[in-house]
Amino acid sequence: MQKNIKEHDFKIGKTERNAAKGHPSFLIWFTGLSGSGKSTIANAVEQELHQRGMHTYILDGDNIRHGLNSDLDFSPDSRTENIRRIGEVANLMVDAGLIVLAAFVSPYRKDRDLVAKTVGNGNYVEVYVSTSLEECERRDVKGLYEKARRGEIKNMTGISAPYEAPENPDIEVDHTYSLEDSVNKIITTIENRIKSYPHE
Ligand SMILES: Nc1ncnc2c1ncn2[C@@H]1O[C@H](COP(=O)(O)OS(=O)(=O)O)[C@@H](OP(=O)(O)O)[C@H]1O
Ligand SMILES: Nc1ncnc2c1ncn2[C@@H]1O[C@H](COP(=O)(O)OP(=O)(O)O)[C@@H](O)[C@H]1O
């Protein structure tokens, strides 16, 4: 499909852009059930990074499922395509020099693995928000679980569609963590990650 396409050798690359911004760029991927806290935690982590002068961007359902992926539903194939496209977008943003925070249910392990491969494993930090289904249902932020239990929503993750938990996430937080504790745990890991990058 991609025959006859040759990449141009541009002179300004990720290395130059990271040097200009003063920090490395990578992807922080939040996965977990609906209502587990992905967006809330990603938002708080972004605020913390922003305060430290870092260049960030959040990808989540609001800016992706209403726009780029508005043609996709919640069937298994659509979810896979949703995550594949998001991985490609995140890769461009990481290449552009941003610390990207992505908050998606992303229920399939193979799809998350593809994202990690797309951005490069060294540029992928997986955060598993492992809040239990029971707690997510208790919160029922959007009323989706109640509808799913009534059979009004098909393919609801955790009820009538699968969620494959990460086997080896870089970070795991759940509802026993306060928001502040979750943010601190993630920021500590990110800071260590940044220190381990070669100074460019
Ligand atoms: N069937 C079903 N299953 C799960 N979630 C559903 C469903 N229908 C709608 N929603 C709402 O859509 C949000 C999940 O979208 P994602 O793009 O993150 O899903 S996925 O990664 O493609 O599985 C999810 O948002 P969050 O609550 O922010 O996770 C839900 O609000
Ligand atoms: N410790 C916590 N960490 C994150 N969110 C929490 C916590 N305790 C309660 N919440 C609430 O749970 C809900 C999580 O919703 P949201 O962040 O939209 O989840 P998701 O993006 O995974 O669907 C929010 O209303 C948030 O205020």
Q: Give the domain ranges of the chain.
A: 2-131+163-195
pLDDT for 200: 46
Q: List per-residue pLDDT tens for the chain, 200 residues long.
A: 567 778 788 999 999 999 999 999 999 999 999 999 999 999 999 999 999 999 999 999 889 999 999 999 999 999 999 999 999 999 999 999 999 999 999 999 999 999 999 999 999 999 999 999 999 999 999 999 999 999 999 999 999 999 999 999 999 999 999 999 999 999 999 999 888 876 54
User: Cα angle at 9 between 8 and 15, to 5 degrees?
Assistant: 130
Does residue 130 line the site of ligand 2, with CB under 6 A? no
Distance CA 177, CA 5 (A): 48
**Pick from 92, 48, 182, 91: which is nearest to 128 by CA?**
182
Nearest residue by C-alpha to atom 11 in ligand 1: 34
Which pLDDT value is given to residue 198?
65
Give per-residue burial for 119-146: e unless 16+ CB within 10 Å, then b.
beeebbbbbbbbbebeebbeeeeeebbe
The secondary structure of 77-144, three-state, reads HHHHHHHHHHHHHHHHHHHCCCEEEEECCCCCHHHHHHHHHHHCHHHEEEEEECCCHHHHHHHCCCCH
Assigned fold of 2-131+163-195: Rossmann fold (3.40.50)
Confirm whether the ipTM is greater than 0.95: yes
Q: Give the pair of three-digit tokens for residue 68.
A: 């780029």
Structural contact between residues 38 and 30, judged by C-beta atoms closer than 8 angstroms: yes
Cα-to-centroid distance, 172 and ligand 2 (Å): 15
Q: Note if 106 is an active site residue.
A: yes
Residues 6 or more apart in contact with residue 27 via CB below 8 angstroms = 90, 91, 94, 100, 101, 102, 115, 119, 123, 124, 125
pLDDT for position 49:
97
Ligand 2 pocket residue status of 158, Cβ below 6 Å: no
155 pocket-lining for ligand 1 (C-beta < 6 Å): yes
The type of residue at 125 is: V
Residues in the chain, total: 200
φ and ψ at residue 45, rounded to 5 degrees: -65, -40
Cα–Cα distance between 153 and 45 in angstroms, integer? Answer: 31
pTM of the complete model: 0.96
